[in-house]
Every structure is written in C-alpha cells, then in structure tokens.
Amino acid sequence: MIPQIRAEIIKVRSTRTTLGLVLGMIAIILLFVILTAWLTSVGEMSGREQQRNLFAIGSFAGLFAALAGIMLVTGEYRFGTIRPTYLFTPKRSLVLVAKVVAALIAGFVFALVGEILSVGVGGVILDERGISVALSHHDYTLITIGTLIGTALWGGIGVGLGMIVRNQVGAIIGILAWGFVIQNLLFNLVPSVGRWTPDQAQNGLMGLTDAHLLDPGVGGATLVFWTVVICAAGAVMAARRDVN
C-alpha cells in the first residue's frame, strides 16, 4: 500500500498541473476575499454572519482539490499511463485507494493555503478598515476544521468521480456545472434536499448559519458518506471495465 501511495504522490508532484491549480486557487480566493472584505459596508461587515462568510472563502480550495483528484485519474486515461500503472499494480482497488490518499493529502495542503489567505488577508483588511472581529473561538475552529477536512475530502471525491467518468473534459465540466449551478439551484429551490449535497454539507460543517444547513457534525458525516460512496462506485467500475 505505502509504495503505491508514494507513486501517486510522485505523480502529483512531477507535473505542472498541481502548481497551476494552486496558483489558480490563490488568485480566485484572493480576489473574493479582497472584494468581500473591502466592498461590504462597515455595518454589515461587523456582523458575525458576514465575517464567517469571509473567512470561509478559503473553502473554495475544495473545488481545486476536486480538480486535482479528477486529473490524477483522468490524466492517466488521457495520456495512457493507466496501462503501466495497472501493469505495475494490477489490483485496481489498491491504485484507487492510493490515489484517494494522495488526493486527501493534496487537498489538505490546498486547504491550508486557502485558509491562511482568507483568514490572514481577510483579517488584515478588516483591521485596516477598523472593523473588530466578532467571531468566537468556536466559530474559528469550525471554519478551520470544515475548510481543512472538507477540502481534503473533495480531493477524494475528485478521484472517485474521475474513476467513474474517466474522460477529463467531461469530469471537469461535470464538477463545475454541479458546483456552480446544479447544487446551488437545488439548495435554493428545495433546501430540504439540497442541504444534503456534499457542497452544502461542507457549509454545514463549517458552521455557516443559513437556516437550512445541517449541523456541523451531521454535515461532516454527510460529506464523508458522499466521499466513500463515490469512491466505492469508482472502485467497482475500475474493477469491471477493460482498459483499452
């Protein structure tokens, strides 16, 4: 098991894909943090609700972790390296587990960067505007845990999704459409269903306060559940399907 994980970590680190994702993530998180912290009125920004939302922007890392997970699998199919990968490790479930572990680690690192940006840069801007932080220690803890664990799990979800879809472009378009459109629509139109999506489960885990969100514990469990289900489906499909 450990050799396979090492191999997957070398894969993550030996192309520029990961670096590109991290740079893209930094740019987007910085943009949202700066816009939110500067442009929201002092009155609104002084409230806990809005400060929570600001510091949770780091969880945007989840999308990039999911993309990294997707590429770790679909890149192998796109460039054919899946053949040597399976020749060296014919137990395909072992390859999948190793990829999930590598993606969890990558996701965790992504989340650290995102968290430092949102809390650090967001905090500096609030300070600059003379707004005092209204969040409690508990609020901070939930946002941090939710960002770190949630983002890591998104890496795993990306791996499972990549195994199911295999086509790189299809999987990327799918996760973008889901994250930006479908799950948002679902949550806004039918919140009783939409809150169970992995996206809103993570928002629940971070302690965000929309009335419809799940409690942090239930949200975390729901996100873990989705990760396990999607990866298990990916493992079943990987075992059954021929490699061309």
- The structure tokens 């999704």 sit at 161
- Between 103 and 148, CB nearer to other proteins: 103
Q: What angle do CA 31, 197, 136 make, to 5 degrees?
A: 55
Q: Per-residue string for binding with other proteins, 59-88, x by CB under 8 A?
A: ----------------x---xxx-xxxxxx
Which position among 14, 41, 132, 192 is part of the footprint of other proteins (CB under 8 A)?
Answer: 14
CA gap 47, 66 in Å, rounded: 31
Q: Which of 95, 85, 67 is nearest to 175 (CA)?
A: 67
The helices-and-strands tally (H runs, E runs) of the chain is: 14, 0
Q: Which of 200, 166, 196 is nearest to 78 (CA)?
A: 166
Q: Which of 149, 20, 157, 168 is nearest to 12 (CA)?
A: 20
- Between 17 and 46, CB nearer to other proteins: 17
**Binders in 88-117 for other proteins, by CB under 8 A:** 88-91
Least gap, CB of 120 to other proteins (angstroms): 31
Judged by CB under 8 A, does residue 167 bind other proteins? no
Q: Binding-site residue total for other proteins (CB under 8 A)? A: 26
Judged by CB under 8 A, does residue 140 bind other proteins? no
Which residues in this chain contact other proteins in the complex, by CB under 8 A? 3-4, 6-7, 10-11, 14-17, 75, 79-81, 83-91, 242-244
